[in-house]
Amino acid sequence: MQRYFIDAHQCSSDAIRIEGSDAHHITRVLRMQLGAQVICCDGKGTDLLAEVKAVEGDAVLLRVHKRMTSRGEPAIAVTVAQALPKGDKWEWVLQKGTELGAVSFLPVLTTRTVVKLEAKKADKKRERWQKIVKEAAEQSHRGRIPVVEPVIRWSPLLDLFPTYDRVLFAYEKGGQPLRHVLEESRCERMLIVVGPEGGFTAEEAEQAQAAGAVAITLGSRILRAETAPLALLSCLMYAHGEMGGEPL
């Protein structure tokens, strides 16, 4: 069934009002009729099963029939921080990272980041990235829309480490095996830090570990910049029972 995210102000009592591009999607793209059912997710973990009651100009009015807990949110909150890779790889990571359950994304500038991002373009890029994440959240039946944070530099990123229960630093040059690290303890709020195509410098690795991150390796095969965060996220989710199965 089609899903849309709505804000609190769009819903009062049992009435929902959808406007803008989602309304256009309902009336013009999907051409839904009166009586058609959709799921409106409040972005905070509640799904509302609703029926199209009327179309008023550019707005669609719906009536809520049932409230349910969103099933698409993992128990562990994982943030994906990655040194901005080239081309459209970051958009891939945003989309698939959302499907896999990440709660937020931190694009980072590191020593070996190749991508240059001008300040005035940064806002537009972030808007686009947030849109990609919203669409992926809808299609994958997430209960909330992940947040794409503004681009952050290396040093401020290090300052954020203490706000997480655990920080994993993907470092093929000298990490512990992932499985050992994940089986030690459970946690609720995790940050994973992945490098650009050229990898992290030895200095960055030292700084990350000094700031509290655990360096981990993903095995003996080299993964591309856009593959690594998705593989790591899949394994994390699996270890925490989120890819089918009970938690540790």
**Which residues of this protein are in contact with a second copy, per CB under 8 A?**
71-72, 74, 95-96, 99-101, 139-142, 175-180, 216-224, 227, 230-231, 234-235, 237-239, 241-246
User: Which residue lies nearer to a second copy by CB, 156 or 177?
Assistant: 177
Sign for the CA dihedral angle at 116, 117, 121, 127 comes to positive
Cβ count within 10 A of residue 237: 20
The percent helix, strand, coil of the chain (3-state, each to 5) is 35, 30, 40
User: Which residue lies nearer to a second copy by CB, 107 or 175?
Assistant: 175
**Tokens 């195509």 belong to residue:** 197
Task: Work out the burial of residue 232: count CB atoms within 10 Å of its CB; fewer than 13 is exposed, 13-18 middle, 19 or more buried.
Answer: buried
Q: CA-to-CA distance for 1 and 8, rounded, in angstroms? A: 21
User: Which residue lies nearer to a second copy by CB, 22 or 242?
Assistant: 242
Q: How far is the CB of 231 from a second copy (least distance, A)?
A: 4
User: Which residue lies nearer to a second copy by CB, 83 or 216?
Assistant: 216
Q: How far is the CB of 22 from a second copy (least distance, A)?
A: 19
Cβ count within 10 A of residue 185: 9
Q: CA-to-CA distance for 178 and 240, rounded, in angstroms? A: 13
User: Which residue lies nearer to a second copy by CB, 117 or 198?
Assistant: 198
User: Which residue lies nearer to a second copy by CB, 28 or 221?
Assistant: 221
Give, in order, the Cα–Cα distances in Å from 95 to each of 5, 26, 75, 129, 239.
16, 22, 20, 9, 21
Q: How far is the CB of 197 from a second copy (least distance, A)?
A: 11
The set of residues, in sequence order, having a beta carbon less than 8 Å from that of 33 and lying 6+ positions away, is: 52
Q: How far is the CB of 71 from a second copy (least distance, A)?
A: 5
Q: How far is the CB of 70 from a second copy (least distance, A)?
A: 9
Q: How far is the CB of 98 from a second copy (least distance, A)?
A: 9
Sign for the CA dihedral angle at 26, 27, 29, 32 comes to positive
User: Which residue lies nearer to a second copy by CB, 156 or 238?
Assistant: 238
Q: CA-to-CA distance for 120 and 142, rounded, in angstroms? A: 31
Q: How far is the CB of 160 from a second copy (least distance, A)?
A: 24
